[in-house]
Every structure is written in C-alpha cells, then in structure tokens.
Structure 1
Amino acid sequence: MKYPFWLLLAACMSSVHAADGANTRREGIVVDLNAEASRLAPNDLARAQAFVEFGDATPGVLAKKVNTVIQAALATARPYANVKVRSGNTSTYPVYGKSGRTIESWRMRSELLLESRDQAALSELLGKLQSQMAVGQLTLEPSEDATREAENAAIADAIAAFNARAKIVAGSLGGNWRILQMNVNNTSGMPPPRPLMQRNKVAVAAAPMEDMAIEAGESRVSVNISGQIEIDRK
C-alpha cells in the first residue's frame, strides 16, 4: 500500500521531534543562578564645554562679536595637540520688549566642545579660555579602553563567583554539577559622566585665570552573570 508523500513527511518530522525531546530531557536538577562583580575604572577622559554669549541690537554686529571670540579661542587651543576641540551648538534668538511683540535686541550663544585624556593640558587650556569664554560644564568618565579593562576583570570575578555559588548549591544537594548555559551582561554600560561643575553665568574675565583644578577619581563598572547549571542525582 502506497502512502501520500505529505503523510510520510509528517511521520518523519514527528519522529525527529520525538528524538529531539528525548535528547533534551534532563535527568538531573536544573538550577538558575546569578552572580555579580564590579571593578573601579579610572576617570581618565575629561570633556568640557566652553561658550560665549552676547547681546546686541543688530544681528550682524552680534554675529561678528561672537565669531571673533570663537576664532580667538580656537587659536588659543591650536597648540594643544592632545586636546580635541570641535564646534558645539550655535543659536541666535530675539529678545522682546515688555509688550512681547517688539524685538528690542538679539542674543547669540556659541559653544566649543573639548575632550582629552591629558587632563593637565585640558586644565591649562580651560584656564586660558576663561579670559574669553565661560565654562559651562566639565565632566570626567572612563575612556573606552579603561572601561573595557575594568569590565574584563569584573567578568573574571563574576564567573568565579558564579562557579562558587554552583559548588555551594551542588554540595548542598549532594551531586555533581555542570553549566548548561551562561549569559554575561554589563549591567552598568558606559559609566555615567561625573560632573565636576556647571556654570550658567555669561561672563568673560578680563585676564587669564589659573589652571582649572581637576580631580579625576574613579567610576564603578559592574558585570552580571546569569545562567543555568544541572546537578546530577546520585
């Protein structure tokens, strides 16, 4: 007796699934485990925002004032090869009179964004720039290299903690254990920047200021290990 092809195919697939189910059936006890570890990473990357903001009745005159300061600041920063400098946001907006309908003047703000792992050079440059611009924000955080190094060390610690917990559980149940699966997660991601200062005042000093003091400190990088172990029954 001949059977249709689709019926034979269905019978074969049913046999395969039955075999797969038999292969994945566990004889031991499956236990979910978690472990976490963290390491400190040095805040070796500094970022700063310097800005200038002026007001004037004429937009063209205002733009010239702001651009003059920005160009002078870029010239001041040029000798500092270890400091990356790029343009930030630039905005111009009207200032209305008491009636709220008439524009009395204009305000313009322009930013420079600075970044460096040479914190001494950045500190010195910021001190000079404060004779022309205001410092809006200064933050410290670990660089990618520092974060990766701390994360790798934390992974090793977390795996060791996972294995230690597995031994405790298996010993309590009186059996041998093996890992079925393991997931490694960076629970903190890139550590949040550590703000050192934020200044909203619009001020341009008359003379260069002292180097800006920077205390780097450290940030904590955390890793979580989750997985399953199987404990053989004796």
Structure 2
Amino acid sequence: MRIGLFVTCVNDLLFPETGKAVVRVLERLGHRVEFPAAQTCCGQMHANSGYRDEAMPLVHRFIETFRDYDAVVAPSGSCVAMVRDTYPRLVPESADVARRTYELSELLVDVLGVVDVGARFPHRVTYHPTCHGLRMLRLGARPVMLLAAVRDLELVALPGVEECCGFGGTFALKNTAVSTAMLADKCAAIRATGAEYVLAADNSCLTHIGGGLSRQGAPVRALHYAEILAGGDE
C-alpha cells in the first residue's frame, strides 16, 4: 500500500514530532510512508470563515498532490473532516481522494486491522475526543482501543468527555469569553482525573487545552496520541 502523509499546517509548523510519530508507527508495522513536498494547507480555515474562493486553489492542490496514493493519513481529525466532508461538496471530482483520506486511528484500525502497535507508555493518561473527530468523522472508540493496547499505560475516563474544549478554530478568537468558560470546564475535568497527560487527535485543540492547563499551573501535559503510539515497547 502506498501511503501519503498529509502532515497539516499546525503540525508542520508547530508540532513536527507528531508527523514523525505517524511515520514511526506505520514503518514499525512494515509500511512505507511518503511525504509529498508539494502539499500545502487543506483550506479549512478559509472555507470555515466564508472565504470559499480563497480555499479553492488549496483544495485543488491537495487533490492533485494526493490523487495517486492508495491511502492518505493525517494526524488531525479536523483536517481529515475538511477533506472528507467539505471537499466533495466544493469539488465533486475530489470524492475518490476524499474516501481514501484517513485520520490515523481509522487507517490503523479499519484499513490495516491493527490495534496493538507495539507501544509502551508507563503513565496515567486521559483522552479528549475533539469535536471534528467525534461528530464528523465519528472516530468512536478507535483511538481509545489503540491507547488501551499500549503496555503499562493507565487510561482514565474523562468526565464530560463529549463536551467541546472551546477552541473551534476562529471561534476562540471571535467568542473569547465563551471559549474561555468552556476551556475552564474542560481543564477542571482533566485535572479531576489525576492524569499526567491529556491526549487528543488534534494539536490545535491540544494547544488550547495545554495553554489553559499551563496558566493554571497544572502538572498535566497535552500531547497528540500518535506520539504515545510511536513509543517502543522495549
């Protein structure tokens, strides 16, 4: 299987270790992952903010860059949701590429049939299912299944697990007071678990959550779950 990595803007610029983690996991399972250098932004921010015309060149660029891959994987529920849900409505001929674009847990569990990726992480963690992954991709238990198979990892349920963290892209900028209140509730729930780490499938939301926890002086680190799966079971 020829797999293309769509690393996304946030990960490429701010969290490169997450992209590297995806590659390590898939290579450990015997797959070759390619990183097409022609990739750019998926256009999610433009489209969600009403700038459809500005988004279209980015949509066409994605289609052209990834059209020849058997599967496209991205460590971002929101960007994959953009490709799978919005692209076919903007550009009908993108439907084939959209169908072959997966969030990491979908590729591992549904396509490759793998739950145990051979990872070890001896820490107490909790998992926050971000909104796009939860409501648009319907990732369900896939990320939790993968984490539950990690050696020595203690996975603790998060109270109010389906509640938004308040990020929502530009929502956090345009509706600061509401976003801050939602973040406060999410941080309180995370701290109540006693977890050392809060994990999620989107580094954008984790940046929001991690910032809130840091300002509170909470000893909880926000981390993409791919980086947990990339840890070896030595």
Of structures 1 and 2, the one scoring higher in RCO (CA 8 A, sep 6+) is: 1
Same fold (TM over 0.5): no
TM score, norm. by length of structure 2: 0.22
Rg larger in structure: 1
Q: Which has the higher helix share?
A: 2
Q: Which has the higher strand share?
A: 1
